[in-house]
Chain A
Amino acid sequence: MLSALVILPVLFAVAVALVPARHAPAARWLGVAGATLVGVLSVVVLVRFDVGDGGFQMVVDRSWISELGVSWHLGIDGISLFLVVLTGLLFPLVMAGVKPEGSAGQHDARAYTAWMLLLEAGCLGAFLALDLFVFFVMFEVVLVPMYFLIGGWGHGDSSKAATKFFLFTMTGSAFLLVGIVAVAFLNQQATGTLTFDLVTLADSQSLATTTGRWLFLAFAAAFAVKTPVFPLHTWLPDAHTQAPTAASVILAGVMLKLGTYGFLRFGIFLFPEAANYFAPLLVTLGVIGIVYAAVVATMQPDLKRLIAYSSVAHLGFIVLGLFAFTGQSVTGGVIQMVNHGVSTGVLFLIVGMIYERRHTREIAKLGGLQKSAPVMAVCFTIAMFSSIGLPGLNGFVGEFLVLIGSFSTRRWWTIVATTGVILAALYLLWAYQRVFHGTPEGDNATMPDVTRREGLVLVPLLACIVVMGIYPRPVLDRIEPAVDRLVARIDDRSPYDVPADGGTAEEQR
């Protein structure tokens, strides 16, 4: 089942690539069909997921490269479940709803579709992998399609942005590779068997404290670039600005989560002691990211860049939540990964629509669009309010859980982080005012509203924003057991105290 989630998109990618050139338009629909099939499969996984179980489910474990101790070990738990579903649903929506842009033209539809499918396979593989080697391969594999999507179908100076993106993340990956290999070999020295299996390595805990800390830093470097954590974030605005819409949506919605997910699944799970040791550093960087990125966002002249900076701020909230180590804060961080994917996805889709119509994303050249495109304005408003964290919409649930959870262990940082809600309102409403309010002139006055095809992409995402804001329980109930296991693990393996009801950690000590 889980293997099919990874292998199906690869098979479809190959099939798409083999479509004869004269049938290129059909290739796109073949790809959409493949992605839809994967999406259906991800929903089946969601339905069959056992709610109360905090462990890995639907596990696949086959020996793969036995002489290296590498196994095809996949599994899903509450932490990865909704990221998988998000990936499964976002890809078909984006592939069906967003036409490939750029100068490449129709004949490249095959390549574009194939790269998208490979990207999906890599993302799903990374979220499902329980073997460090498999994870690393998947973590790397996603870079290649993204590089070609930005470079081949992007805008402006896109190949430069693509190269920057590539070099940045490759540098992080080098650290990750060293870390993974070292963990496996050090474990081999201690126990006599070579394995890359996540669960085995995490349970054996053969590392000395200092070694564990160094290795955690190596992992953290890769994930911090990917997330991105301040001050390693500058590749993101560039990549977003040059990327085609579909790639932007996937980049923000899914790929950035590889970083935060990696922190949780690999960093904290493998090195609970070191994670606790470095938590103050990461919490600090997360909170700086929230405030700093928000301030920088206010002054961006490019709408897409502004939203990219808002992503940095939002991911700062997630990092704060993950490293505050309470059940609420980590659960909030996990659900916020999904929420951010949905709401920022909508924002990027709308920016793409504006660009397609107006050939600019420069805020100063837009204005009064609510007059010419009222439906688009409504969609943007809902996603914007979700992004600001308005209760009743999904963004609030994650943000609030992160903050209320973090308050018990990181009180002052949380108080600073909460100012992020003021800044988010400031930069988003100001951008909205400049783009949608006012009297439209020139091309802005005649800009067509959302088409039926675009509406079909936006509506499911907007529905998700509302439903998850009003009734997040089904999601939280599935995330929580897995998070509890992880938090208990930090509690067991490090001098960290899980605060109980009605008291902060300090008071209990």
Chain B
Amino acid sequence: MLSAVWLIPALPLCGVLVLALFGRRLGEPLAGWVATTFVAGSFVAGVVTWIGLLGHDEEHRQVVFRLFTWISVGSFSVDVGFLVDPLSITWVLFVTFVGALIHLYSISYMHGDDRFGTFFCYLNLFVFSMLVLVLGDNLVLTFLGWEGVGACSYLLISFWFQRDAAATAGKKAFVTNRIGDWGFMTAMFLLFWTLGTLTYVGGSGGGLLSASETLTTGTATAVALLLFVAAAGKSAQFPLFVWLPDAMEGPTPVSALIHAATMVTAGIYLLARLNPVLHLAPSAGDVIAVVGAFTALFAATAAVAQRDIKKVLAYSTVSQLGYMFLAIGTGAYVAAIFHTITHAFFKALLFLGAGSAIHALDGEQDMRRMGALRAVLPITATASIIGWLAIAGVPPFEGFFSKDEILAVVWQDNPGLWFVGLLTALLTAYYMSRQVFLVFFGHARWDDPAHGSRHPHESPALMTIPLIVLGGLSIVGGLINLPGVETLGHFLEPVFGERELHLTVSGASQVALAAVAVVVAVVGILIARRLYLRDPVALETGEHPSVEPELLRRAWGVDGAFSAFFGGPGRRLALAAAAFDRSVIDGAVRGTASVVQRTGQRSRVIQSGLVRRYALGIVVGAVVLMVVVAVGA
């Protein structure tokens, strides 16, 4: 059954080819159904492969399928091959599952777009790239997927390319990611020349993962930090997060799939995959944990002041990814992956819910123009409320379990970082409550005469079914790794082994930590209620200016500082280089040329004055000269 693995990426690739060739002919909605079917098929193939993997003993749950040699020169050789192990299959399952649901949702959401087929072609290409990223049996193939998802992200963010903001955001995402890619490439060079292979498992020396035990601390630290640069680009960590809020210019399903549930978790996957290297570099782990914790808090502070419904979710994603890096840096890989999965469900849910609300209000994204949508969008509201409780960490919703696991393990390792995490949890509960209150509760502000009369209505079934499914998962998702049972932890054990930092704090302390987290979440919700549901002005205007400072809305001005630098000194430097090239370097050439020209003019008597003959003359002269020299010798 394991041999079905090649179908997992092959099906979405078929979808890409079919839609590229016949997308326009298939039209709406058939193109969308074709794309959805291929991704759903990929999920089925993933389940089949997973069952096959479960049939193996725990220590043999690592199977490689090689298709063909991709690039091979001398001692350097990489294949196109797939590594099936608990880590890759975990990603395959949630990527294809969430992917299929979002495809389904998009059929309705993208209704009426004149590039309907193209949209689904890109979406399938994205799923294919993401699957190559996680299934690739070597770093270079993972890099292919890595760049592929980046390219798809670019294409989909700037999907509505006629809007300047969308075009700029797509470019910004790609270029920022490329900074991370520099780290990825350099890490690969260093690993290859130290270990002699980039293939994870097998081949000479047993493969990268087992050979990396021989790395010195210095090399391991350098590689781990370079990989973190890559991960920070893809997974939007400080200071490379700047592209993600702008990426919200893309269609909302794209934000849900790429910029919340799947692509942005690629950095987590990369670090988890190379956990043997991270294990040898404790100081790099510290850096990762600190940057993760800082990003979590930083992005949460920005989220509290956003007015755009999607921007809140974007900063929230950055913040939640920070939690995952905090866990990775601490060595709690399972906790990080657990949160990755629960986050995929509830954040996709929140985005799709937001999309449904935006859809109902004819494209309105400003929360000040929303409110009281609970009555007109019952399914959307219920689903979004489930997502809100999940992300806020209210038991028994899934986010409670995964966030709690991270916080407990961090408490054990570094109470200082735990406090940062807790503070972030408070802010998370607060800003998500604020959003839900502004959108679904309070007064209706969307029927503002300045914006025309609106008649919001619940979205069609194609959009609500994914909401219902993800809502259900957001309630029960915590079951995959309940404390004490730890199904996911046991499943992933062969991947991390003794490198996983296990929870050693006593049961009583764990309960106490969980209680603190729940109290914090409730406090966050109550503060938001006080400010946004109990304040008559805020109910009327949809804002509370005293707690939404401009500085936070601009995310402490980090993005602005980057723009100012590239638009100012950076641009001037490039202009100076261009001017230098024209005047100094080419100037030297022109100087020489004019000397030649003057000489030419003086000897015009023997020249006809025709540049063409002049050119021919030079060639003839050169040949004659050669002959003369040769004969004379």
Chain A residues near B (Cβ < 8 Å): 68, 133, 136-137, 140-141, 143-144, 147-148, 151, 159, 162-164, 166-168, 170, 173, 177, 181, 185, 188, 194, 231, 233-235, 292, 295-296, 298-300, 326-328, 331-332, 368, 370-371, 381, 385, 390-392, 396-397, 400-401, 403-405, 407-408, 414-415, 418-419, 421-422, 425-426, 429-430, 432-433, 436-439, 470-473, 476, 480, 484, 499-504
B68 CB to nearest A CB, Å:
7
Report the bound CA distance from A439 to B573 in whole Å.
Answer: 30
Of A185, A328, A396, A429, most B-chain CB atoms within 10 Å: A429
B377 within 8 Å of A (CB atoms): no
Would you list which residues of chain B between 50 and 102 have a CB under 8 Å from chain A?
68-76, 80
Report the bound CA distance from A290 to B575 in whole Å.
Answer: 17
Select one of A299, A381, A414, A437 contacting B189, CB under 8 A. A414
CB–CB B189/A419 < 8 A: no
- Identify the closest chain A residue to B142 (Cβ): A391
Beyond A385-B151, A401-B76, list 16 extra A-B contacts (CB 8 Å). A144-B616, A173-B622, A328-B76, A371-B161, A390-B151, A392-B148, A400-B71, A404-B192, A405-B73, A408-B193, A437-B164, A476-B71, A500-B75, A502-B193, A502-B194, A502-B195
Report the bound CA distance from A501 to B20 in whole Å.
Answer: 42
Would you list which residues of chain B between 165 and 186 have a CB under 8 Å from chain A?
167-168, 170-171, 174-175, 178-179, 181-182, 185-186
- Identify the closest chain B residue to A326 (Cβ): B74
B413 within 8 Å of A (CB atoms): no
Report the bound CA distance from A206 to B277 in whole Å.
Answer: 51
Report the bound CA distance from A326 to B75 in whole Å.
Answer: 11
- A-B pairs with lowest CB-CB distance, top 9: A502-B196, A437-B167, A327-B74, A407-B189, A391-B144, A234-B586, A299-B578, A437-B161, A501-B75
Chain B residues near A (Cβ < 8 Å): 68-76, 80, 140, 143-144, 147-148, 151, 154-155, 158, 161-162, 164, 167-168, 170-171, 174-175, 178-179, 181-182, 185-186, 188-190, 192-196, 205, 573-575, 577-578, 581, 585-586, 589, 593, 596, 611-612, 615-616, 618-619, 622-623, 625-627, 629-630, 633
CB–CB B167/A438 < 8 A: yes
> A298-B574, A438-B164 are contacts. A177–B192 as well, Cβ < 8 Å?
no
CB–CB A234/B581 < 8 A: yes
Select one of B71, B162, B194, B205 contacting A472, CB under 8 A. B71
A143 CB to nearest B CB, Å:
7
CB–CB B171/A296 < 8 A: no
Query: What residues of chain A lie closer than 8 Å to B573, measured between beta carbons?
Result: 295
CB–CB A471/B68 < 8 A: yes
Query: What residues of chain A lie closer than 8 Å to B616, measured between beta carbons?
Result: 144
Report the bound CA distance from A385 to B152 in whole Å.
Answer: 11
Sample (9) of A-B pairs whose CB atoms are under 8 Å apart: A147-B615, A295-B574, A328-B74, A385-B151, A391-B143, A401-B73, A421-B181, A421-B182, A473-B69
> A370-B161, A421-B185, A437-B162 are contacts. A473–B622 as well, Cβ < 8 Å?
no
CB–CB B192/A292 < 8 A: no
Query: What residues of chain B lie closer than 8 Å to A502, measured between beta carbons?
Result: 75, 193-196, 205
CB–CB B593/A164 < 8 A: yes
CB–CB A163/B611 < 8 A: yes
B154 CB to nearest A CB, Å:
7
Interface of A is mostly: helix
A218 CB to nearest B CB, Å:
15
CB–CB B619/A144 < 8 A: yes
> A391-B140, A425-B174 are contacts. A476–B72 as well, Cβ < 8 Å?
yes
Report the bound CA distance from A140 to B593 in whole Å.
Answer: 20
CB–CB A429/B71 < 8 A: no
Report the bound CA distance from A439 to B612 in whole Å.
Answer: 45
Query: What residues of chain B lie closer than 8 Å to A401, measured between beta carbons?
Result: 71, 73, 76
Query: What residues of chain B lie closer than 8 Å to A371, measured between beta carbons?
Result: 161-162
- Identify the closest chain B residue to A173 (Cβ): B622
CB–CB B589/A296 < 8 A: no
- Identify the closest chain A residue to B615 (Cβ): A147
Query: What residues of chain A lie closer than 8 Å to B626, measured between beta carbons?
Result: 133, 136, 177, 181
Interface of B is mostly: helix
CB–CB A422/B179 < 8 A: yes
Select one of A137, A296, A381 contacting B577, CB under 8 A. A296
CB–CB A429/B174 < 8 A: yes
Query: What residues of chain A lie closer than 8 Å to B162, measured between beta carbons?
Result: 368, 371, 437-439
Query: What residues of chain A lie closer than 8 Å to B205, measured between beta carbons?
Result: 502
Query: What residues of chain A lie closer than 8 Å to B170, measured between beta carbons?
Result: 429, 433
Query: What residues of chain A lie closer than 8 Å to B174, measured between beta carbons?
Result: 425, 429
A198 CB to nearest B CB, Å:
17
CB–CB A421/B589 < 8 A: no
CB–CB A403/B185 < 8 A: yes
B205 CB to nearest A CB, Å:
8
Report the bound CA distance from A181 to B612 in whole Å.
Answer: 27
Report the bound CA distance from A283 to B35 in whole Å.
Answer: 48
> A234-B581, A391-B140, A472-B71 are contacts. A419–B147 as well, Cβ < 8 Å?
no
Select one of A170, A299, A405, A480 contacting B618, CB under 8 A. A170
Report the bound CA distance from A185 to B631 in whole Å.
Answer: 12
> A151-B611, A173-B622, A472-B71 are contacts. A438–B161 as well, Cβ < 8 Å?
yes
Query: What residues of chain B lie closer than 8 Å to A234, measured between beta carbons?
Result: 581, 585-586, 589
Report the bound CA distance from A157 to B593 in whole Å.
Answer: 16
A382 CB to nearest B CB, Å:
10
A255 CB to nearest B CB, Å:
16
CB–CB B171/A404 < 8 A: no
CB–CB B179/A503 < 8 A: no
Query: What residues of chain A lie closer than 8 Å to B586, measured between beta carbons?
Result: 234
A253 CB to nearest B CB, Å:
23
A461 CB to nearest B CB, Å:
17
CB–CB A168/B589 < 8 A: yes
CB–CB A166/B615 < 8 A: yes
CB–CB B578/A181 < 8 A: no
Query: What residues of chain A lie closer than 8 Å to B593, measured between beta carbons?
Result: 163-164, 167
Report the bound CA distance from A331 to B72 in whole Å.
Answer: 10
Report the bound CA distance from A148 to B611 in whole Å.
Answer: 10
CB–CB A390/B622 < 8 A: no
Query: What residues of chain B lie closer than 8 Å to A159, measured between beta carbons?
Result: 611
B35 CB to nearest A CB, Å:
18
A42 CB to nearest B CB, Å:
24
Select one of B161, B192, B577, B596 contacting A299, CB under 8 A. B577
Report the bound CA distance from A328 to B189 in whole Å.
Answer: 12
CB–CB A415/B186 < 8 A: yes
Query: What residues of chain A lie closer than 8 Å to B144, measured between beta carbons?
Result: 391-392, 396
B613 CB to nearest A CB, Å:
12
Query: What residues of chain A lie closer than 8 Å to B589, measured between beta carbons?
Result: 164, 168, 234-235
> A181-B626, A390-B147, A392-B144 are contacts. A429–B619 as well, Cβ < 8 Å?
no
> A296-B574, A433-B167 are contacts. A328–B73 as well, Cβ < 8 Å?
yes
CB–CB B612/A148 < 8 A: yes
B568 CB to nearest A CB, Å:
14
Query: What residues of chain B lie closer than 8 Å to A421, measured between beta carbons?
Result: 178, 181-182, 185
Report the bound CA distance from A391 to B144 in whole Å.
Answer: 5
- Identify the closest chain B residue to A430 (Cβ): B171
CB–CB A422/B182 < 8 A: yes
- Identify the closest chain A residue to B20 (Cβ): A378
- Identify the closest chain B residue to A420 (Cβ): B182
Report the bound CA distance from A476 to B68 in whole Å.
Answer: 14
CB–CB A419/B182 < 8 A: yes
Report the bound CA distance from A504 to B76 in whole Å.
Answer: 13
- Identify the closest chain B residue to A433 (Cβ): B167
> A437-B161, A437-B167 are contacts. A418–B182 as well, Cβ < 8 Å?
yes
A398 CB to nearest B CB, Å:
10
Query: What residues of chain B lie closer than 8 Å to A439, measured between beta carbons?
Result: 162
Of B171, B575, B596, most A-chain CB atoms within 10 Å: B171
Query: What residues of chain B lie closer than 8 Å to A233, measured between beta carbons?
Result: 585
Report the bound CA distance from A234 to B72 in whole Å.
Answer: 36
B511 CB to nearest A CB, Å:
48
B173 CB to nearest A CB, Å:
10
B234 CB to nearest A CB, Å:
14
